[in-house]
């Protein structure tokens, strides 16, 4: 008899190999939407008056953007954040009407549909501002309006802009030498009714408290200069999960909740349970073949693993094509029938092998790579450590041929 890691209920071997197999695909990521809502609610309670933006870029960190977005809004988030406009349009197409911010753009962007769909735009340069103005102006021309009332065509509202400031991360955003020109151009276009600067933001390095507080001071200086140029941004944001939890000063009017919403900790020294968060994703595969081999049998490419004695090998249909890190070879943990084993030999494109020694394992048995460690299975952090990376990457890289199922 074994224990199911999701329900904590006892199941017999026949249940695992017959009923469960009939219902469970070869590759499965189960997403607990109740955990998503719980995590948002947990962090939001700590944020005081600051609003919470749920960041669902990169397909919701691999969890599914639309489903996660809805669960996050149910949990108290008032904003959604994505990397690019296409991600935002996917949310709008699903019927989500909440405010959405997109902040990474093509070199020659066409913002027409973003403006039409009332998507807030993170803007880093005067060139991007002009592209926003062109889109807004085009929608005001004959045939370009998208709203009617009583037969009368109405011009769309001005485009909504958040100016992105580089406060030291060295990535996107206007440098201090560009602030004056950026603010002046934004004020001109705002006076023409083409756009409204509703926000300003930056991104912390999370290097240390001293560096992050210096970034906060730089953003505050930029906001003051922008207001001196005639702008009146009211939505000021800087902190993601790590900054919001460790540096209350950085919460400002809105925090961007990313990894914490998925129940994973952004810190090396504090786990998710200590933060009151519940991991939302459980990734599992199936044993598709079992064989008994002799001692000193080589396993997988290069024979980087050899059996110490006569042993049972279980083959699992997951590989680096599914986002399973090859660096986890001979290092990463998996859970089978209530016991934890280590991946044996090199992880291949579509499969990997587990030496279960003398344990009884059958074709069809569930193999859990990671999930909520409170249920006894490995954590995403365990795989991150084995692959010398971070938990963000482990969940985000989960591939497209892995079926995602949602539960509450």
Annotated binding site: 171, 349
Q: Where are the beta strands (DSSP E) in 265-332?
A: 281-293, 298-299, 305-306, 311-316
Distance CA 31, CA 313 (A): 29
Residue count of the chain, please give it: 408
Choice among 13, 164, 262, 301 that is catalytic: 301
SS3 label, residue 405? strand
- Which CA distances in Å does 350 have to 25, 307, 322, 347, 395? 15, 22, 7, 8, 18
SS3 label, residue 69? helix
For residues 110 and 84, the answer to whether their CB atoms sit within 8 Å is no
Choice among 57, 61, 341, 406 that is catalytic: 57
DSSP percent split of the chain into helix, strand, coil, nearest 5: 35, 25, 40
Strand-pair partners of 107 = none
Strand-pair partners of 257 = 54
Active site residue 301: yes
* Long-range pairs for 92-96: beta carbons < 8 A, 24 or more residues apart: 92/117, 92/119, 94/66, 94/69, 96/66, 96/69, 96/70
Distance CA 372, CA 263 (A): 9
Annotated binding site for substrate: 171, 349
Distance CA 199, CA 121 (A): 10
What DSSP string runs through 354-401? EEEET----TT-EEEEES-GGGTSPPHHHHHHHTTS-HHHHHHT--TT
Active site residue 61: no
Burial class (CB in 10 A: 0-12, 13-18, 19+), 7: exposed
Residues involved in catalysis: 57, 301
């Amino acid at each position: 008899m074994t224990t199911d890691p999701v329900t904590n209920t006892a199941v017999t071997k026949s249940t695992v190999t017959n009923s469960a197999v009939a219902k469970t695909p070869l590759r499965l990521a189960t997403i607990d939407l109740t955990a998503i809502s719980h995590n948002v609610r947990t962090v939001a309670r700590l944020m005081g008056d600051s609003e919470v933006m749920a960041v669902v870029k990169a397909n919701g960190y691999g969890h599914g953007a639309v489903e996660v977005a809805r669960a996050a809004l149910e949990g108290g988030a008032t904003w959604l954040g994505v990397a690019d406009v296409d991600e935002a349009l996917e949310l709008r197409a699903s019927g989500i009407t909440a405010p959405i911010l997109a902040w990474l753009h093509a070199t020659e962007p066409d913002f027409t549909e973003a403006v039409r769909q009332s998507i807030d735009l993170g803007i880093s340069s005067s060139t991007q501002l002009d592209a926003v103005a062109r889109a807004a102006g085009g929608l005001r021309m004959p045939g370009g309006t998208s709203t009617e009332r009583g037969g009368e065509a109405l011009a769309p509202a001005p485009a909504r802009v958040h100016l992105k400031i580089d406060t030291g991360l060295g990535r996107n955003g206007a440098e201090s030498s560009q602030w004056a020109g950026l603010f002046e151009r934004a004020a001109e276009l705002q006076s023409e009714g083409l756009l409204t600067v509703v926000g300003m933001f930056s991104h912390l390095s999370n290097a240390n408290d001293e560096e992050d507080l210096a970034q906060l001071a730089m953003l505050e200086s930029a906001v003051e200069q922008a207001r001196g140029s005639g702008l009146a941004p009211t939505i000021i944001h800087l902190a993601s999960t790590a900054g919001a939890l460790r540096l209350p000063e950085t919460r400002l009017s809105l925090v961007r909740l990313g990894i914490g919403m998925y129940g994973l900790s952004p810190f090396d020294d504090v786990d998710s349970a200590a933060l009151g968060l519940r991991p939302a994703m459980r990734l599992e595969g199936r044993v598709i073949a079992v064989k008994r081999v002799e001692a000193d049998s080589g396993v997988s490419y290069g024979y980087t693993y050899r059996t110490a004695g006569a042993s049972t090998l279980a083959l699992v249909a997951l590989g680096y094509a599914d986002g399973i890190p090859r660096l986890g070879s001979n290092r990463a943990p998996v859970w089978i029938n209530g016991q934890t084993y280590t991946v044996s030999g090199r992880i291949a494109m579509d499969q990997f092998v587990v030496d279960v020694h003398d344990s009884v394992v059958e074709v069809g048995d569930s193999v859990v790579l990671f999930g909520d460690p409170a249920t006894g299975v490995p954590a995403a952090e365990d795989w991150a450590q084995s692959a010398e990376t971070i938990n963000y990457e482990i969940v985000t890289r989960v591939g497209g041929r892995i079926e995602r199922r949602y539960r509450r």
